[in-house]
A and B are shown apart, each in its own frame.
Chain A
Amino acid sequence: MPEPKTAPNIANAEALKKMYEDMLLIRRFEERAGQLYGMGLIGGFCHLYIGQEAVIVGMQAAATPKDQLITAYRDHGHMLACGMSANGVMAELTGREGGYSRGKGGSMHMFSADKKFYGGHGIVGAQVPLGTGLAFANKYRGNDGVCMTYFGDGAANQGQVYESFNMAELWKLPVVYIIENNQYAMGTSVARHSALADFSKRGVSFNIPGIQVDGMDVEAVEAAGKEALSFARSGKGPIILEMKTYRYRGHSMSDPAKYRPKEEAAEVREKRDPIDHFGQKLIQRGVATENDLKEIDTRVKQVVIESADFATTSPEPALAELYTDIVI
């Protein structure tokens, strides 16, 4: 039987294409950020999200506008996926007045109360109690928001993560803990840093359920995200999603990633790249054509070029900003 020429469900097709576009935006944005870093326009630490795009995009597809999110310092993708502007994020990376924190936060410290994005935190694991506290606020107020709290396989070894797990389950807080297992805590592989490599089981002693998810498959992430959010929203307490993913670049811009063979990253990129494979799927299913994807690529490139332009022309913050926003 010949395959149908058009997608069976147009509404869903748009949503799928949107996910593709969101992932591609993150990829192109991060590539450009890497370039600006190389040109000396971005300073300090800059942790790129390339390779992990399906995690945040799939989760955002599953989330509702009342759900909050919070993460660590590999945060550019999270900000773009929750609808923060590429201009504002890129201008923060260059430390300019037009940045989300008016140049005072940098790559690791951006926030948008409007988009319910609560940072952007530089201390490994510290965002986990904070996200649990946001969930506490949801329960206290009696709204049905859920806080999506992201952290990596490295942060999963911090003590405060387990302090949070205990209270979240004890008080049945609406929180989804998303462990982005990209296989490396900076330069130390999971096998070298974790006694138990299955992070979905990290909540077992607190009676918190966990699910392992293919974090390179945006649809699998979305499905698991919906299930987890629904679980937490229904008052059953926290749940863990372990996203098996991979970062292509080093830990930060200054990391040559010598601790792993080059072939490893090349193989993941070849066989499991979240964007390429999802694009192929869309074409195979008749959801999008090659031409559709090219158009998306053009649009995304334009957004990214504009953001780089904005980020390099926006002025540095006024010197008077040194003493503002400390206490009010």
Chain B
Amino acid sequence: MATQILMPALSPTMEEGKLARWLVKEGDVVKSGTILAEIETDKATMEFEAVDEGRIGKLLVAAGSEGVKVNAPIATLLADGEDASAAVTSAAPAAKAEAPKTETPAAAPTAAVAAPAVEIANDPSLPAGTEMVPTTVRIALRDAMAEEMRRDPDVFLMGEEVAQYQGAYKISQGLLEEFGDKRVIDTPITEHGFAGIGIGAAFDGLKPIVEFMTWNFAMQAMDQIINSAAKTRYMSGGQMSCPIVFRGPNGAAARVGAQHSQDYANWYSSVPGLKVIAPYFAADAKGLLKAAIRDPNPVIFLEHEIVYGRTFDVPKMDDFVLPIGKARVVKEGKDVTIVSYSLGVGLTLEAVEKLEAEGISCEIIDLRTLRPLDIDTVIASVKKTNRIVTVENCWPFGSPGTEVASQVVAQAFDYLDAPPGKVTGKDVPMPYANNLEKAALASVDDVIAAVKAVCYRS
């Protein structure tokens, strides 16, 4: 009986991809290791090998097809003596290629996430009539770095695989070609060392962007980030400056286990001397990364791998820079204030769509910056709605949401009609199993339950 060859997942977060090219044709005999096709994600083009021996029956997906879902049949493989009309087994084992390296979980889903049904308020800081261009967060981050590097020769990028490899997550795509290897620098795998080298260069007035392949690896560099970058201005009585940006994906991607899935929002947000930014939308990613690069302080820029491939409007402006430390009211509402940041905003938008259908009017605040915290925007909203829920994915102990709740209780206690609700990642190391991982992360259902609880609705 013929078996199916299925579209492989080439990274932990890949959901679909492009079948760029077939390297076999119908009737070809293949064996284990024969390269069947080239599959393109938004990050890389990878070769896809056969696992089983046989003869190619039918090619089910034409070369050049985009958006081919993972596990969709793409060809049939015939056993000896079968012809192309042979019946196909339904439950063929998927022929899966391995991702190239565990430390470089590849691309996020290529498809743009459908625009949420919730209407998102325009950023009031934009001039009326500004043209908007749909852009992925990935490209927005790249554009921010490229624009700042064009503007200021003291800005440079260093990190693992940022240059020749074009970025482990493709964020630095094309930068080496434009700026050369003096300013786009591949480092050895040595986070503690290159974080310190970046800080030393910043002490001398250069403006490094240090990319961590993920923030999980920055724990190796924690001492330099906190003790050398964050504290030196203070310890020097204001004489020294450390204009540096540390950036990279933060939090859980998908199925990469406890050591690659931590969300560091609460750790860095607790440190005086740092600014901490955690955007969700592409425009914020761009405008705030540009601001971070220009900022004279060390800035922690927390991105999210799941968000890299999402597409949002970015204003078409010559120099779009946003202020650090300003939250944004993403959507106005009157029954409850939901405060979030980073991927939590996406979760919130999904939940709000359902909550509004049930008649609960939600105001959504995207903090965008965690330190300094724009508590005034939150308090103003709570005074209107009298209820608050915070949504985030980091561990609950001392999380930014916990801090928001504490400040709201201290400053607006009399306005609250219910205790603050809190949705976080669960208080466990990230498990690997699919069901356990889902349970460990904040979910849409968690948000809905928390909002209903503070509204005393069931």
Contact = CB atoms under 8 A, between A and B. Distances in A.
Interface residues of A, number: 47
Contacts of A123: 223, 227-228
Given A126-B223, A167-B187, A167-B190, A109 B200 contact: no
The 10 A-B residue pairs with the shortest CB-CB distance, nearest first, are A133-B200, A129-B196, A163-B193, A102-B237, A137-B204, A101-B237, A325-B238, A109-B235, A130-B200, A133-B197
B249 interface: no
A112 interface: yes
Interface string A2-13: 000000000000
Interface in B167-219: 182, 187-188, 190, 192-206
- Pick the most buried of A121, A135, A147, A326: most chain B CB atoms within 10 A of its CB: A326
Contacts of B188: 163, 166-167, 170
Interface in A78-122: 99-105, 109-113, 118-122
Interface of B: 156, 182, 187-188, 190, 192-206, 223-224, 227-228, 232-241, 272-275, 296-297, 372
B223 A140 contact: no
A128 B206 contact: no
A154 B122 CA distance: 57
A126 B239 contact: no
Contacts of A122: 227
Nearest to A105: B235
B229 to A, nearest CB: 10
A88 B334 CA distance: 58
Nearest to B298: A327
A136 B296 CA distance: 19
A175 to B, nearest CB: 10
Contacts of A128: 196
Contacts of B234: 104, 325-326
A326 B227 contact: no
A146 to B, nearest CB: 13
A100 B237 contact: yes
Interface of A: 68, 70, 99-105, 109-113, 118-123, 126, 128-138, 140-141, 147, 159-160, 163-164, 166-167, 170, 324-328
Contacts of A103: 237
B190 A166 contact: yes
A170 B193 CA distance: 13
A164 B236 contact: no
Given A129-B192, A167-B197, A134 B227 contact: no
B204 A111 contact: no
A47 to B, nearest CB: 16
B239 A112 contact: yes
Contacts of A324: 238
A167 B193 contact: yes
B235 A133 contact: no
A328 B299 CA distance: 12
A327 B199 contact: no
B203 A118 contact: yes
Given A134-B200, A327-B273, A328-B296, A129 B233 contact: no
A174 B243 CA distance: 22
Contacts of A70: 200
Given A133-B199, A164-B193, A167-B188, A325 B237 contact: yes
A111 B200 contact: no
A134 B236 contact: no
Contact of B196 (A105, A133, A328): A133
B227 to A, nearest CB: 5
Contacts of B235: 101, 104-105, 109, 111, 119-120
A112 B201 CA distance: 16
A111 B199 contact: no
A130 B203 contact: yes
Contact of A328 (B200, B202, B203, B233): B233
Nearest to B205: A137
A208 to B, nearest CB: 14
Nearest to B197: A133
A128 B194 CA distance: 11
Contacts of B236: 100-101, 105, 109-111, 119, 325
8 contacts: A70-B200, A101-B235, A129-B193, A132-B196, A133-B203, A136-B201, A163-B194, A328-B241
Contact of A164 (B197, B223, B238, B273): B197
A135 B236 CA distance: 21
Contact of A326 (B156, B193, B233, B241): B233
